[in-house]
Structure 1
Amino acid sequence: IPIALDHAVGEYFVGVVADCKSVLKNDTVKTNDYTVAPNKLNVINPQGGCFEDEWEPNSAKGLAVPLTEGLHEGLGLCNDEDWYSVLVPATNTLIVTVERSEILSLNEVNPDIDIELVGPSGELIDVSVSTGQTDTVMAFVVPAEDTYFIRVKPKKNGNLAQYTIDIAMNEPFDGIDLFAAKATASPTVTFSGGALYLDWTLVNLGSTPVGAFDVKVYFSTDEKVDDTDIAVGSISIEQFPGATATVRTDSLVLPAGIAGGTYWVGIQADADDVVVEVDESNNWVTAAPIVIDGANPCIDTEDFEPNNTLETATELDLNAPAVGVSIFEYKDLGLCPDLDDWYKVELPEGKRFKATVNYLYKNTKGFLYTQLIDASGEAILDEGKLASKSEVLLPYVWQAGTYYLRVYNPNKAGKAKPYTYTLTVSLVEPNAADVCLADQFEANNHPNQAQVVGCGLKEMTLCKKDQDFLKFDLPADGQVVLTLNNAGGKMKLLVYEKIGGAIKHTIFGNNKKTITAGAEGQTYWVQVTTTSTSGVVNSFDYTIFFDGISGVDLQVEEVSPYTGQAYQGEDELVGFFVANQCLDTVNDVNFGMYLSDDGVVDENDILVREASVGKAIVGGESLGVNEKFTVPFDTPPGKYKLIVVIDHDEQVVESNEGNNASLAPFTVQEVCVDDALEPNNHPNYPTDLMLGYYENLQVCPYDLDWYRIALLEGDQLNIKAFFANGGGDLDLRLYQDGNFTQPVLKAYKTNDGEALVYSVPADGSYYIRLNGLSGAANTYSLFVSLDSIDLCESNSCQNGGLCSEEGTGKVVCDCTDTGFEGDFCETNTDDCAADSCQNGGQCTDG
């Protein structure tokens, strides 16, 4: 009788089968080849099958059997799972080892089981899924005394096993004991020069802190790893506290030249024995073996490595010598699977940026992808995925800063091998249609960059390759209406309740959506992107209106100066509206008016008026304001932007401070001060002139300067008015006494100065008039003579310089070929300064 008969079955039928292996081919009737004895056989004490233990039932956490420290034998896992509990004192390390044995059976039974360690709150602390005879789980240096749970379960349904549980609890002791445990290595297939990632646990079972030490990693061709095997890398630990356990994730770049094959990975803490430990025997842990693909080594370019992370990204100097205009090429770059290549570039605002990765695609090696990432390192602005050529493009850099390029193998369908590639980047002028200015909420290309906003209108731009994120809060049972508006309606708005969560609401095109919070309130994230796959929109500008959230959002609209201009020291009336786009009423608020050169309020602008609106601004309504301001007398004349800023002193808390200002063009005109010969604005009140030169004269806007001079028949009157035409075009006229409607002579060129010469026909008084064209004003000088007026007559140019006269009254000297220089050719030119003598010749200045 076989001893492996199942102990749970006591009685058996006994049967006899003839030709049990069916070797008799001529025996065509098989139904009578067997017979069964009429009485049953009682088998005493069979030893086969799965034996349940005394602690059953314990197949659920609520039925867990308490265990103490030590070895527990005679346990059985028979068609269910077993739960145990153990009370672990604070700071102790719990080590649970389950060793299984096979079931005695006439049929093959899979005895493979797994073990889990569950924390006091139900969290999974550790798990072991070994296929060997032993499984171990650990909880290192537990923070407080509490109950932990052990779950023993079959790896597959139908697995049966007998097993033992050994429970060890180690309390911290004086001294140091470094313990390496729970190691896994990935990827399972890598390359010489490739990446190796290690997940493992480092423990100090002692209570004494540890100073600096190194951890070394070895490759072994057998399961016994020691320091005689291949050292592939090291990890530096600066310090490590006592009674501490840390789950570590470390990465290494394997050295070149490792032969292909299968290697077990060993990790040795304190590999150089610099730490004195209570127990030196537990510094090693071994991970399951990995494979080195010897046929495809990784070859990196030393000039760019290491650059496997964003933090170590290699900077590309876009000012370096280029292949073409603003095109930069980097050849023979190497990429290994699991070792991304990162580059960073400084991009100025207003340019077009493109990066292209060219490589020889092979199906067995997978793809190379390229990503363009913003300065946060989180937002992917563009990604190229094509075989042989992956390309990213930013048609218009809307915000200057550091951007990142990531080149990587996505390991699609398990296909990933080393590649060499060429990286080409270009930085050129953008297409006019792509120009797009950043809004006040940038950078907000990722949910983690989203600004918190409140009620009111948000005016924004969605540039090409851009996506915008905002977030807002709703109180318990609160409600908001979101309205999206964009010319052409080619945008959509998505609403999330958590980052990376499901889309809760969607607005397509120009539309609105009502959102209601639950009983506990909610934070929402809003994403705006395009509806078209090409990303093309009719306009980059769009708005989102948040209606229903309490708060204040003041906006200035329709700034309208009454005339749009004023003289220095004069007043101007300005009308504007203040809208409150939220629900809460503002009782009163101050505003400021500024004259600005550039339309942006800063410390260089001129504050011309501070006042209050004087009334409450009700939520959802608009208030019209009319107010005067005075242009300071010392304000330089010119064209300005008149900016009205509501709440310029920031006394009101608003949901959006970016829309508090609006502007209109405004001109400050220079005050015209009469000269010493005024009043002479009418021929009845002329200024009498003698022959001579008159300086510092002024024609004011729409003013006339009249002069009178007595002349005799035959006099040759010469008049010159000197002025710079850019300051205001002046015209010159001469009248006879008694006829002030028809001049006898006039000069009205459009360049600098005016002049006229008149032969006097009869004795009498003659009148000279100067006026500004179309109300122009200017300063001038007047020269009146009976002789030819030639400023060069005195020949103020020296050393043979040629004199010429400008309309402004200035003499200009041409010193060409004189050997002299200066305003009047008064300085000798050093002809030897250029050292033009050759072959030892000595230069002498002429």
Structure 2
Amino acid sequence: NTILESSDTLLASGQIEAVGSGLEVDVDDLVFELDEPITVLGNYYLLVVLDPGEQIEETNEDNNIGISNGIVVTDQPIPELDIVPVEFDFEPLTTFLDGSLTMNATVLNQGEESTPNGFFCRVHLSDDNDFDPSEDTQLDTFNFPSLGPDEELDQTRVTLVPGFFSPGFYYVFMECDPTDQISEADEDNNVIQAPGRLEISADPIVDLRLQSFEVSPRNADDGQLVTITAEICNDGTNGAGPSRLRVWLSQDNTLEQTDPILLDYLVEGVDADTCETVVQQAAAACDNFQPDYTVFAKVDATDLLPELDEDNNTALLDTNLTIAGPFCDCVEDALEQDNNSPATPTFVRDTTYENLTTCSNPVDWYALALRRGETARVTITFDNDRGNLDMTLYDASLSGPIDRSLGNGDTEEVVAFVVDQDGDYRFQVEGKTDLDRNVYNMTVEITPPVSGTDLIVTDVEISNPVPVLGETVEVDFSIINLGDVAAGANTARIYMSQDIDIDPGIDILLAQVPITGVPAATLIKRTIEVSMPLGVEGGDRYIGVVADALNDVPGELDETNNVGLSDIFFLEAGCFDLLEPNNSRTGAKTIALTQSQTELLDLLVCSDNRDFYTFCADAGDFLRMTANFDDAQGDIDLRLYSAGGTQLARAEGTGDSESLEVDYVSVAQCYTLEVLVVGSGREVAYELVVENGPAPAELVCSGSAEPNNGFGTAAILMDNLDPIDDDLAICPVSDVDYYRVDLSAGTQLVISLVPGEGEDTVPADLRMSLWSSSQSFLANTVSATEPLIYTVTSGGRHYLRVTSLASGVRNQRYQFDIQGLSGVDIAVSDYSLEPSVADPGERIQYAFTLANNRIDDINGNFYYGIYLSEDLIIDGSDLLLKEVLVNGLDGGESLNVVSKVTIPENTAQDQTLYLAVVADNRSQINEFAESNNRAVLPLTVRPSCVFDSAEPNDLRQDAADFDNYADQPLFLCADDTDWFVFDADPSTQYMIEATFVAEQGDLDLFAYSASGVLLGEGVETGDNEAVIFITPAGTGTAPVYIEVAPFGDTRIEYQLSR
């Protein structure tokens, strides 16, 4: 209650210094935690009592108690909605300019309603313990999605400390919804202070050291979790910001960056002169047939920190980690013998063999003793993730292959059907590359000569292993007639099944395929398009093809082998409606508008599955699109794009509907509508209503300032001076445009009409006139080219009117050029990036000129932001990488800005993004034109480097056999060198040529003798490279080593030939 009682809990006490007569003292904010939790629900108050011991004799003791607002303690959700930051911290406590720190924030919506949209929380640095967003420095921003009732969300951000900040000690605060975009039940609980103070130093002194490192147990089964414990110490005087701890498994005693990573862990920070212990678990996974590993650990593995000493960052276990399992230990199988050559194959018969391996040899050779007329089918199954295996079956004389299976799934199959002679038919199982080795099971089926007709189905494949409901895919299959009697016309059926047993009574029939006939001892192939069914559950599925499904072939000898199955595939059925698939702009569903109103019912959109529709409209039409939904399920937003992909409009309101409209279609064209859900984990049912027809006459050809047809609806002049964004026009017939502007007495105003964007001249019929605040006439022009010149005699609001003398003209476009009008105009120019091709985590230098093109000074501060975008449109969906404060800008002043920004580590590779600078990105400054505030340049994120089948061959002692890789596609990375070796005759001239395209980069060739003497080099520029050399004299062949080295920052595909 509000009465001070002896049972009240004392939270804090302090000393007040003497207070002079008539003076007051401000007490800093107090922050404290309750020693005991509040367990009784109800209203509570904070009471501040002055002079509780009555040491001061006062004239009035009754006013010594101050009472706070009420604090409600409840176990019920707060009515409406209420955003509360409940936890906020950072580490390390010390950092440096251009350094980084990790911030963790937890935000709760403790209300009964969902937030209508996403929101953000700003982080501020304060010199004192008193939060004041108008004075404190903004450091970073957390962006939160929409939160449901009683929903809590944790976020972690790695924050860079800008180099222009002042070193010192700071208190760190976070304020949620600082711009009051969300109406809350309580706005007073939106600020939280992080524990501790942040120290920012000017000079970084950081030295991380791996004090200890352990993996337990040292003997583990394949896939077993092992515990990794690392103690990381910082011997520097500055805190170390976020860095990565990596643990590698190496097959030798040398750490290579290409070694498999056992653990990749983000160390959030280590304060100066302290140690942090990391305990993590990871699954021990062996490379194929490699059980023993040297284990290395390294702190700051990606070199993010400016350390004094990096030699103490790495440690290794004193003994190996041993991983056991069928894929780890190379144990020869029962059929191994000496079957690594076609001369010594293992003969197999009609049966199944399990746990065969290619561990000791990269290829296994087998043989089938077949009699004339017999048919053999060999199938192997394996885990393709462990290594890709292929099969090739040869004829009896080994002169050529009968069948090959070179797929990328978990099954390979070859068939020798109705062989024409007795003999030993060899086949091989081998890795797709030299590095692909595996464990596999093999089934051999031998069918004796068939007198009659016998159909079998093989090689069933589906073109997309992850189709969605309704998607059209291709199914390939082969039908073989094993018999000596032709099969007549029949029908094959294609089914989709949940298991490997095809049951026409249960499984879904996808297609019936007429087969005109299958001659004796013949194979036919077919490719058929089928559509995935609608309205079914998703999951693992098989495609089954049944030959002679209607029993059209009389007297077939064996009906049990008429079924062939595909590999298992996954049918995607999440968030499905009858207009799926339509989850991208390129895959938008085109809807024909055949009536004035088209209703699309029973639609479904999800957070991770947006919907896109294309609508086409004729010139002179309007187009209105409305989505109706229940906002209790979630909030839907709309975006509209032109045919070229430019975003034209967006609807982001609240409530049960969103609507977008094109009021007038000037040229017949198509538009794409995007329907998306705000927030994550949402699934919203909706209906889409599309209205289309002739546009009303009064809306035809409206300019961007419309409606502005009178003094009462006059548009703001300063909002319509952008030559790019503002399309002003007198249209339709009888239109008049009014603009309002506040002018000071003595202003010398010169207003001219100039051609609209894309126009060559100003329409000759246009006229201007100026009117006072009392709507009295002041001045006018008598031609379109005459400027309106006027000196303001009385300050206040003025009106500018534009009229046309033309008759029947529907569209007369124009813009303004105004001199003497006070104001500001922020402009960005001369924008550049270095480099423009980068890796995730790389620092990019940007430079641009920031200018105020108008005469008035910008006395207040504003910001510019650096954004990372997937397209040229900079909007709320783009990622803000950096925000910099600008301390005003005088009229006519310009600044040359040069700084750096880091591309986020988690940026997807092999894509082109856009890096944009946006001046006044918070829209704090009221200015003439906004379109010149931004500049955008493409930024290419490099593809990850692909290691070819010859790797590892980075060192001379690991040189690959030249002849095995000649004329094969190879790949060279910027930090890579490829070595090859071949035996060369003495005193012989050789030419080694590398074929590549110089647009990808340049590479050089070097030839060395066995003793390391350079024999020749090729270091030209342009496409391709060659090295010509003569081998030393001698009595026999000797190895020659070829080095392929990149020149510069190169990632290049090439081929070698001799």
TM-score by length of 2: 0.27
Larger Rg: 1
Structure possessing the higher relative contact order (Cα contacts under 8 Å, 6 or more residues apart): 1
